[in-house]
Structure 1
Amino acid sequence: MRRSGDHRYRSAGRVRLAAVLALSMLAVLLLNACSNNESSVFHTGSEETALDNVSRVPWDYRIVESTVGDLIGSDMTISPDNELMPNDENYATGDKVWALQYMDAELTTDANERSNVQLSAWSTIKTFKTQADAKNDMANLKVPVTTEVDLVGVYKTQYKDQTRNFAVLELPSGNRIKQPIDDKRYTELEKKKKVSVQLEEIHDFADYDSAYAKFRGWAG
């Protein structure tokens, strides 16, 4: 009887050991599967591609005549948007000031290198006592440039009896734009690879080396 009981005990022990080993192997396999799938769960390829095609660029500046409103400590509010700004010039309520405002843009480029632009609201970044001072400051941020750019090509579209011509340019920023052109310019550009244009470089006031070039016309 004792031997039979020992035999049953050893058999049960082997069964329990096999079960433990099987559960351990299953746990290892599950952990490996989770590890291998971690990037696909938290970071999909499409999300990474989309992020690579989105950039924020400086878009424009303007000068707006404003009025000083409430004084709050060392700050002030200015109309018409009631923005809070540092009162570095010790303005008084009711004083007229010239506000330099800034707009940036979220630029999305698709697989065909076509751009979609989402503009921000205007925000005031600095105030001046005179319009001349404001214009002098803005002149350093909006810089006209005449240069050569790559001409991707020209093409025609036709709808009923109307024909329209377009030129596709690649700007120094890398994005491509299309511009309507007349028949004469179409003939001039048809076989060219480079073309002279007028651009306006919009520099970021917080990082001057960051700039975006905007097409402003044909040179020559």
Structure 2
Amino acid sequence: MTRNGTRHPRSGRKFRFAAFLALSLLAVLLLNACSDNEQSVFTSGTSVDGQDMVSRVPWDYRIIEGSVGDLIGSDMTILPDNELMPNDENYATGDKVWALQYMDAEMTTDANQRSSVHLSSWSTIKTFKTEGDAKKDMDNLKIPITTEVDLVGVYKTQYKDKTRNFAVLELPSGNRIKQPIDDERYKALEKKKKVSVKLEEIHDFADYDSAYAKFRGWAS
């Protein structure tokens, strides 16, 4: 303070600098906390009106090539989307990386077992130094299988002079899907209760024992 009670300009600059350092440290701590928060994708519950079942499941994985941007504490940003990830491999700015990304789906199932699906955007969950290592990890999360599932039934629809056939299947996840079929398959499935299909198991990266099965075609 000066004699007339006003604050000295130099003390004001010191105060602003200290405040800036405190805010910067807080931001880094918050970012580090976010990067360590890995939770299972699977959730389930009911809608607001209590009529529909709403669940979230892992939907797909992919690998993209990127590069390291800014380094922030023990984290890094991945270009081109500037996603913040832990820098566990001590990457340097400009290093090439392969990022494993996932997409989840919010599924709403009504009382008649009809489902609507809303897909999320892609999010990065892990980075690798080589594309081969990234593919090995993804191959453990997306697994093709052949199995039998319940055939709910087949039916026909007609509009003017056009007829279409459909088969309704119940997947291991419990939801039902509708697949278009030709006349030959309609006759083959008409009296069946089970059918052999190709599925793809999409495993939860945070809880491998949990998986969602997607229809990938007929096995015969």
Higher Cα Rg: structure 1 or 2? 1
Q: Which residue of 2 aligns with 1:23?
A: none
Aligned residues: 175
**Aligned pairs for 1:1-220 within 5 A:** 47=48, 49-50=50-51, 53-220=53-220
Structure 1 runs of 4+ with >3 Å offset:
45-48
Q: Secondary structure at the match of 1:210?
A: strand
Q: Distance in 2 between matches of 1:164 and 1:105?
A: 28
Q: Considering only aligned residues, what root-mean-square deviation do their CA atoms show, in Å?
A: 1.5
CA distance in 2, matches of 1:173, 1:188: 25
Distance, in Å, in 2 between the alignment partners of 1:164 and 1:129 is 49
| Greater helix proportion | 1
Q: CA deviation at 1:48?
A: 6.3
Which whole-Å deviations, capped at 9, do the CAs of 1:183-215 have from their partners, x for residues lacking one?
111111011100000000111101112211000
Q: Secondary structure at the match of 1:133?
A: helix
Q: Which structure carries more strand by proportion? A: 2
Structure 1: where are the runs of 5+ without partners?
A: 1-44
TM-score, normalised relative to structure 2: 0.76
- Deviations along 1:81-128, whole A, 9 cap, x unmatched? 100111111111111110000111111100110001111111100000
**Structure-2 separation of matches of 1:70 and 1:138:** 26
CA distance in 1 between partners of 2:219 and 2:47 (Å): 40
AA in 2 matched with 1:49: G
2:209 counterpart SS class: coil
Answer whether contact 2:47 2:53 (CA < 8 A) is retained: no
Stretches of structure 2 that go unaligned for 5 or more consecutive residues are 1-45
1:136-189 deviation per Cα after TM superposition (whole angstroms, max 9, x unaligned):
000111111100000000111111111111000000000000001111111110
Shift of 1:49: 2.5
